[in-house]
Amino acid sequence: MQFFNFQNVFRFWLDKGVDGFRVDALKYLVEVEDVYGADEPIAQDSGITDPTQYYYLNHTFTINLPETFKITRGWYDILDSYDERFMMTEVYDDDISQIMRYYGNESYPISDFPFNFLLITKLFNRSDLTGTNLKNLVDLWMDNMPSGRWPNWVLGNHDNKRVSSRFGVDLIDALNMFILLLPGTPTTYYGEEIGMVDTYISYEDTQDPAGCNNGPEHYTETSRDPARTPMQWDESKNAVENSVEQSHLLVYKELAKLRLKKTFQFGKLEFQTVTDEVVAFMRSTVNLSNVSLQGGEGLVLLVEE
């Protein structure tokens, strides 16, 4: 009955004309009980000794269960019966192979793609932002993605500090270039196109349960409200970034135009010499063997001074 009701919910909104769905925290969809009443096993290698902490256990009964993939496939079948509809899934997991299961494969798709959070979960601050790390994280996704599926890239979201607060406002343009010119779909959390930064929120104004539950002394350690403020425009007509010759917004608009080119939609990806200071790649629709950056359209990104 629960599965049937979910199907009706999908059809209701699809009939209203929505383009698709973002399915949140999907790996927790189904839970089962052990037939012998056993608890989930202790995670022996976690180093966590407090049994109240989530990662104290291996959650073999509550995440990534076979029924979850069967149900999600049923939802995808519903979308597939409509024209040009889309489903992306939110799955955090340290095991890249578990994340890739939410793609399915060419003959049995589960979703259009699971969000690629590697640029969030593996890069915490400016010191992590090296050319080598960026290339390795791109390779990690591309090398593990099932054949025939479509990649995607996410720099920031509502669960984490803003990109400019993590890496510096001076790098926001270069990082937007990075995800918008790679193959696949870039996801931009609102405000990253204008370089928004985290904003101080007092405990009295805190709304996020993760912060409220931590109390006034420690709420800033867990509250996600600083990254969830309204758009940080000024009061002038059309906002400040449209009225200057160079701005984060104008750079973002030019990148959006570049993405209309077939090269950036479908061209092959090749990284050039990469160091901890520089990451460089080329997108090309020609044979990439023995071709330099001058032979195609590409990006050279200085990531550290």
Name the catalytic one among 24, 204, 221, 235.
Answer: 24
Name the catalytic one among 90, 128, 198, 297.
Answer: 90
Judged by phi (left if over 0) then psi (alpha if -120 to 50, else beta), residue 64 lies in left
**CA nearest neighbour of 135 among 115, 154, 118, 113:** 118
Residue with tokens 């926001």: 172
Q: Are strands 86-89 and 113-114 parallel, antiparallel or unpaired?
A: parallel
CA angle 293/295/296 to nearest 5° reads: 75
Contact 187, 156 (CB under 8 A): no
**CA nearest neighbour of 304 among 282, 271, 279, 280:** 279
Contact 227, 208 (CB under 8 A): no
What are the distances in angstroms from CA 150 to CA 109, 113, 119, 252? 11, 7, 17, 22
- Helix axes of 172-181 and 248-258: crossing angle, nearest 10 degrees: 10
Token pair belonging to 176: 């937007």
Is 90 a residue of the active site? yes
Is 193 a residue of the active site? no
User: Which positions ≥6 away from 52 have C-beta within 8 Å?
Assistant: none
The H or E element spanning position 185 is: strand 185-187
CA dist., res. 55 & res. 53, Å (int): 6
Largest CA distance in the chain: 68
Active site residues: 24, 90
